[in-house]
């Protein structure tokens, strides 16, 4: 990174939030197989949005980290059509309209790309087009990847997306960079979760290590809070805005919340982050 860009980066001051695994399902409540309870994902996301509105300073943007809509969890006996997903994406858009900032999206394994593209993506090149992109804010560059592998719980980045990523990072070599991807590209040490990683995660990590401006990787998918340091890369997973997964159980165990989201404060070339969990009264706590 040249000295000019370091100077510009040193002046960066802003905040963003990472909300993930919202699992909106219009017209129903989630009954997790490994939970023994039912959960209203719409109500929990509305509470999270109100907590984001209460932040001071307000975030510059929100990243929605995938598994946005999940009506499939209400109908496990059959595959759903894209049309059956659309009401859940429309409900998601209505809830997010109260955010105090723009929202940007990733897709996850529970999402339907066709319905997502119709409802939430302004100009998809094809009906089933993957959704990956980069954007800049102040001196920073951000990358959102599409790790969905249709029909699979785990993820995969195809060669075309990896080639795009390499070129994008090369074009933004002078900017500190944050990468968002739904699936975690490293093992968490929980056997049942680690069967659902990014299949070519090591290939991704190798590429990110080649581009030294990349410092942070932020994921969803696992419904828990974890931080891992690999060399200069800080890798984070963010809990869900609805149910959480146990980080101590070696078998699948779903917990009824609390809803949570990640706040990231950028100050120069440093990122400070914390996860806020919602209390029963809707206020947030560390």
Task: Kindly write down the DSSP assignment for every residue of 238-268, as one continuous string.
Answer: ---SS-EE-SS-SS--EE----EEEEEEEET
Centroid of chain to Cα 158? 19
What's the domain count of the chain? 1
What is the number of other CB atoms lying within 10 angstroms of the CB of residue 150? 10
What is the number of other CB atoms lying within 10 angstroms of the CB of residue 242? 29
- In the predicted structure, residue 157 carries a pLDDT above the cut 50: yes
Question: What CATH number is associated with residue 228?
Answer: 3.60.21.10
Q: Which tokens sit at 113? A: 């790309």
Give the pLDDT score at 218: 99
d(CA 242, CA 256): 8
Per the prediction, the chain carries an average pLDDT of 92
d(CA 257, CA 237): 16
Q: Token match 């900032």: residue?
A: 101
Instruction: Supply the Cα-derived Rg of the chain in whole angstroms.
Output: 18
Range of the domain at 197: 3-285
The pLDDT tens digits of the residues spanning 240-250 come to 999 998 887 66
Give the pLDDT score at 249: 67
- In the predicted structure, residue 184 carries a pLDDT above the cut 60: yes
Give the pLDDT score at 282: 63
Q: Which tokens sit at 260? A: 């949570």
Proportion of the chain above pLDDT 70, given as a percent: 93
Give the pLDDT score at 7: 46
Nearest to 225 by CA among 249, 204, 200, 245: 245
Give the pLDDT score at 227: 94
What is the number of other CB atoms lying within 10 angstroms of the CB of residue 285? 10
C-alpha neighbours within 13 Å on the C-beta side of residue 84: 11
Between the CA of residue 31 and those of 37, 71, 226, 250, 256, what are the distances in Å?
A: 6, 12, 25, 21, 10
What mean pLDDT do residues 101-113 have? 97
pTM for the predicted model, two decimal places? 0.93
d(CA 72, CA 111): 9
For 117, which DSSP code?
H
The larger pLDDT score, comparing residue 262 to residue 29, is at 262
């Amino acid at each position: 990174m040249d000295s000019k860009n370091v100077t510009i980066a040193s002046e960066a001051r802003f905040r963003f939030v990472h909300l993930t695994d919202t699992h909106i399902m219009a017209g129903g409540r989630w009954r997790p197989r490994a939970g023994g309870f039912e959960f209203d994902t719409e109500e929990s996301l509305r509470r999270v949005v109100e907590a984001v509105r209460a932040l001071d300073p307000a975030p510059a943007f929100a990243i929605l980290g995938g598994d946005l809509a999940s009506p499939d969890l209400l109908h496990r006996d059959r595959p759903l059509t894209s049309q059956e997903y659309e009401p859940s994406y429309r409900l998601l858009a209505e809830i997010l309209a109260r955010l105090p900032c723009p929202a940007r999206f990733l897709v996850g394994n529970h999402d339907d790309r066709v319905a997502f593209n119709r409802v939430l993506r302004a100009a998809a090149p094809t009906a089933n087009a993957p959704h990956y992109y980069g954007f800049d804010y102040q001196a920073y560059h951000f990358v959102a990847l599409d790790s969905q592998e249709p029909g699979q719980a785990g993820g995969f980045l195809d060669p075309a997306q990896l080639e795009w990523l390499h070129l994008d990072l090369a074009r933004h070599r002078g900017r500190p960079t944050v990468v968002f991807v739904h699936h975690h590209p490293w093992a968490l040490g929980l056997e049942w979760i680690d069967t659902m990683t990014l299949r070519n995660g090591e290939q991704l990590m190798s590429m990110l290590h080649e581009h030294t401006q990349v410092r942070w990787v932020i994921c969803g998918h696992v419904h828990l809070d974890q931080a891992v340091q690999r060399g200069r890369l800080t890798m984070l997973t963010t809990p869900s805005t609805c149910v959480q997964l146990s980080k101590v159980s070696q078998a699948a165990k779903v917990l009824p919340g609390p809803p949570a989201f990640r706040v990231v404060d950028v100050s120069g070339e440093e990122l400070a982050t914390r996860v806020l969990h919602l209390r029963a009264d809707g206020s947030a706590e560390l």
